């Protein structure tokens, strides 16, 4: 009888010891598991921004004698809400080479008026102009790739049709960091000179840039 009572007491003691042991073991497993659990990765943005153009008052320079004329100009809506342009460019004479391109830009705040605009910069290009005009990944590439017949030197007299032409303002934004293209209105004057350095063609226009949000898969957000 004494031995039985001893065995029962021993069993109760083992049971009391086992409960806290397994409790501590369980808590330790939970702690280790929590430590090994990988931290969640931050969610990547599904959206990015894109600059799209709104260009108006596109015309040849009436105040400068040149050989370009614009006809049948119309404006449509592009994929991301930017504008695309259809026009016929009448070239009145042939240029054997384009020897120089002069790009003059004014920056306006809020409205186009002498009081609101200031000279921004003037760029003059003289090297390999004919190749540069048809190079890929340029701001003007979305316009030049839709010219028919294709642009080449010599640039023959005739009619050149542009359909769904546009501009890549993201490339301009990268080339001019910190200038906030979408915060201003831009007055642009482009002059092309022939092999004799005589004015061959001249355009001017007003440009605004709108920043839109698109998904990484190319869908407008």
pLDDT tens for 108-146 read: 998 888 899 999 999 999 999 999 999 988 888 988 999
Task: Give the integer Cα–Cα distance in Å for 63 and 49.
Answer: 38
pLDDT band at 25 (very low <50, low <70, confident <90, very high): very low
Q: What's the pLDDT at 45?
A: 53
Question: Which CATH fold topology does 47-215 show?
Answer: Ganglioside M2 Activator Protein; Chain: A, (2.70.220)
Per the prediction, the chain carries an average pLDDT of 82
Instruction: Name the pairing type of β-strands 117-125 and 199-215.
Output: unpaired
Q: What's the pLDDT at 173?
A: 85
Residue with tokens 């048809």: 134
Task: Give the integer Cα–Cα distance in Å for 145 and 158.
Answer: 18
* Cβ proximity of 208 and 183 under 8 Å: no
Task: Give the integer Cα–Cα distance in Å for 165 and 140.
Answer: 9
Task: Give the integer Cα–Cα distance in Å for 69 and 60.
Answer: 6
Cβ contacts of 58 within 8 Å, gap of 6 or more: 70, 73, 85, 87, 203, 204, 205
pLDDT over 80 at 164, yes or no = yes
pLDDT over 80 at 2, yes or no = no
Task: Give the integer Cα–Cα distance in Å for 217 and 130.
Answer: 35
Residue with tokens 């004329």: 69
Instruction: Return the domain boundaries, the chain.
Output: 47-215
Tokens of 202: 């001249």
């Amino acid at each position: 009888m004494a031995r039985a009572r001893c065995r029962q007491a021993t069993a109760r003691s083992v049971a009391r010891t086992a409960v806290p042991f397994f409790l501590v073991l369980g808590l330790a497993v939970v702690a280790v598991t929590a430590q090994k659990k990988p931290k969640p990765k931050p969610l990547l943005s599904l959206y990015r921004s894109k600059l799209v153009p709104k260009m108006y008052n596109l015309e040849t320079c009436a105040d400068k004698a040149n050989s370009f004329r614009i006809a049948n100009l119309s404006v449509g809506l592009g994929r991301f809400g930017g504008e695309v342009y259809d026009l016929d460019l009448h070239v009145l004479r042939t240029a054997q080479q384009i020897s120089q391109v002069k790009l003059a830009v004014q920056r306006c705040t809020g409205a186009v008026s002498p009081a609101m605009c200031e000279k921004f910069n003037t760029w003059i290009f003289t090297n390999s102009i004919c190749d540069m005009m048809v190079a890929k990944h340029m701001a003007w590439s979305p316009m030049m790739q839709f010219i028919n017949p294709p642009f080449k030197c010599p640039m023959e007299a005739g009619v050149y049709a542009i359909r769904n032409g546009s501009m890549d303002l993201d490339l301009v934004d990268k080339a001019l960091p910190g200038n906030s293209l979408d915060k201003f209105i831009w007055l642009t004057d482009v002059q092309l000179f022939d092999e004799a350095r005589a004015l061959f063609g001249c355009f001017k226009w007003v440009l605004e840039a709108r920043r839109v949000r698109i998904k990484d898969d190319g869908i407008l957000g």
